[in-house]
């Protein structure tokens, strides 16, 4: 018989440390990371990730925008069209 235990540990991590951990992931792990963000944000009240994205853009630096633009530039064409239609 196997006994499994789960434990929760609170860890303090800086944005720089989180970014470094993200950069150490392979593409599959990075994709899972974004899927998990989407899953967690779906539980937020109100506009959830949409509102958070708006708030991020209000304080975004050039580096923030460069990273997001690079990610967005690789979206499929149908996704980009849908985004343009919603603008």
Average pLDDT of each block of 10 consecutive residues along the chain (87 residues)?
83 95 97 96 90 95 96 93 86
**What's the predicted TM-score (pTM) here?**
0.78
Residue 17, domain extent:
12-43
Residues 52 and 71 in one domain: yes
Residue 70 domain flag: yes
Query: Which pLDDT value is given to residue 3?
Result: 80
Query: Which pLDDT value is given to residue 32?
Result: 97
Query: Which pLDDT value is given to residue 33?
Result: 97
What is the Cα–Cα distance from 77 to 12, expressed in whole angstroms?
Answer: 39
- The residue ranges of DSSP E strands in the chain, in sequence order, are none
Q: How many domains does the chain have?
A: 2
Tell me, letter by letter, the H, E, C secondary structure of 64-80: HHHHHHHHHCCCCHHHH
What count of Cα atoms within 13 Å lies in the side-chain half-sphere of residue 73? 6
The separation between CA 27 and the C-alpha centre of its own chain, rounded to angstroms, equals 13
Query: Which pLDDT value is given to residue 31?
Result: 97
């Amino acid at each position: 018989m196997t006994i499994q235990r789960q434990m929760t540990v609170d860890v303090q991590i800086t944005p720089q440390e989180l970014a470094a951990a993200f950069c150490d992931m392979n593409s599959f792990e990075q994709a899972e990371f974004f899927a998990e963000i989407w899953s967690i944000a779906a539980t937020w009240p109100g506009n959830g990730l949409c509102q958070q994205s708006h708030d991020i853009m209000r304080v975004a630096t050039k580096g923030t925008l460069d990273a997001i633009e690079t990610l967005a530039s690789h979206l499929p064409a149908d996704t980009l069209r849908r985004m343009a239609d919603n603008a």
